[in-house]
Structure 1
Amino acid sequence: MTPGSVEDDERSGRPSAVDNDRLRALVEENPRTTLKDIGSRLSVSSRTVGIHMQEIGESKKLDKRVPHELTPHQKDRRYELASALLRSTGTIHF
């Protein structure tokens, strides 16, 4: 590391138990597969698979793994709905 740099140096260490590219390919092949099934195919625990799923940006929603990102349109829509709810909190009584 150079003085004043905030970059991490390369380090030796234990190699990753899961190849994220292979994991991504398995998920694309069958988005409805379980962590347990993927773990058995990769010879690792379902917990390890779950950690690597987070690393590649995948999460389980409605029994299907999908990228955990919102499109700009979805972000705008979420903002509009939340703003409308905040504006209406003083006027609607339950």
Structure 2
Amino acid sequence: MEATLIDERFLSKLRWRCRRGLLENDLFIERFFNRHAESLTEFQAEGLRVLMDLSDNDLLDLLLRRKEPEGELVRADVQEVLSLLRTVT
């Protein structure tokens, strides 16, 4: 299956949707967009959308590896994006 890249308009809306209340989350998300905005696929965008539905504290727990995804978060798209968000280098 070919990965479909998102267009500039969708990327702009996604960036807006990803703004968070906790600076720590924003730093992870900003780094993610700086590295992956040009190559972001629809699959990854859906995983990111699911993560953005979480509360700030739950999201931060996942980003800092205090918790691992469970329940409806155990999905390939969420796991892939979470791995990219957690990557330091």
Answer yes or no: same fold by TM over 0.5.
no
The structure richer in helix per residue is: 2
Q: Which has the larger radius of gyration?
A: 1
Higher percent of residues as strand: 1
Q: With structure 1 as the length reference, what TM-score do the two structures score?
A: 0.29
By relative contact order (CA 8 Å, sep 6+), the higher-ranking structure is 2
